[in-house]
Amino acid sequence: MNAENLRALDRRHLWHPYAAASPSVTAHPVTRAKGVRLTLDDGRELIDGMSSWWAAIHGYGHPRLDAAVRDQLGDMAHVMFGGLTHEPAVRLARRLAEMTGLPKVFFADSGSVAVEVAIKMAFQCTGKSRLLTVKGGYHGDTFGAMSVCDPVNGMHHLFTGVLPVHVFADRPPGDYGLRPGTSRDSAEAVPDEGYLRHLEAMVERHAGELAAIIVEPVVQGAGGMRFYHPAYLRRLRELADEHGLLLIADEIATGLGRTGELFGCDHAGVRPDIMCVGKALTGGYLTMAAALCTDEVAERIGVLMHGPTFMANPLAAAVADASLSLLLERPWRDEVKCIEAGLGEGLASAAGAPGVRDVRVLGAIGVIETVDPVEVEKVQGIVMEHGVWLRPFGRLIYTMPPYCAGPGDLAAITEAMNAAVAALRS
């Protein structure tokens, strides 16, 4: 199909995410993805600073992951999971249980569905149907997940009267992570005692009606790319224990090394009762997620009322197990530290620039927060001129590159982000 026909058919038939049916923002055709680079149909190569929405942590076309898919395809692509099982799912479940300390694994189709499953687990386990979370969060686009996303900047206003009404504590102070020119010691400042007391008051006030507390550990992702002190997560764990509540950790964006620890919860040294994982689980190859829980939660639930058709798909399970094996074998912690240092150095010039509210880095996440909302297509045009692919939103120009991104890739990404900031003044 030639490029002109492809674009025309895309505009005619495809509805892209977070866009109108007739979008105003251009969709750029990709013909190849290899390593950390995307090749467009016009021959341009772009460094993918997004890891395909944070999933392709090993880059594209890794030979071990390619082989895992091919080898599994030779046996079976799919088989129903009701009344049947298979080795890829068993291997993957064992590995996840060992990594998380949560022995029961329920596979789902996507991160949003994993959150739905986690919420069902909490409701069935406790017999209660309200949750406590914090403002500024994001947990997915399905109805249960939307109901615990930020009540103002999420999608609540579009579905008023339909979404369940949960309890929202204030947004955590976003004072964690590295700022250009600061050290890790200064990033780990003393937490806000007033906010800790606020959390305590909110939980105590509503404990009798709550099934669980659900949060993204340490990093609030698509709700604003904000980093908060692990002490707040530790206190939520303590409060959950004091009041007989469950703690649900949404590790879909934060898990598998992205924040500099294997899981976001590791920053606080806590284990949740229920954990959701997804995104990077298969290394960006296939859609798959999981909700994990303790034996105690599983025993109290009994029969969990959920069953996706493609649950534990063998192809996805095989490549996920290979991806986790690859992650644990490679020096991912050193790679993420190098990315953190490279992003911190490269984004330093943006701090204090006109139109910039904040610059922050944690692990393999680099964020420039602007004063005003950015023009998505304008920013994308600028960074693409610099050979980089980013997907800004709201007031955020940010990057979450693959762990295999080298110093030259990071320099190109941060140069492109700085160029976008410079354009704010024009």
Active site residues: 18, 138, 250, 279
Is 111 annotated to bind a ligand? Reply is yes
Tokens of 347: 């984004």
Does 250 count as an annotated binding residue? yes
Q: Does 112 appear as a known binding residue? A: yes
Q: Is 332 annotated as a binding residue?
A: no
258 annotated as a binding-site residue: no
In sequence order, the 6+-apart residues with CB closer than 8 A to the CB of 272 are: 102, 237, 246, 247, 248, 249, 265
The response to whether 217 counts as a known ligand-binding position is no
Instruction: Return d(Cα 338, Cα 407) in angstroms, integer.
Output: 8
391 known member of a binding site: yes
> How far, in Å, CA of 286 to CA of 78, rounded?
13
Q: Is 161 within any annotated ligand binding site?
A: no
| Spatial CA neighbour of 394 closest among 418, 367, 419 | 367
Cα 135 to Cα 133: distance, rounded to the nearest angstrom: 7
Is 308 annotated to bind a ligand? Reply is yes
* Residues 257, 280: Cα–Cα separation, whole Å: 9
Residues at the binding site are: 53, 111-112, 138, 250, 279, 307-309, 391
Residues at the binding site for pyridoxal 5'-phosphate are: 111-112, 250, 308-309
Residues at the binding site for substrate are: 53, 138, 279, 307, 391
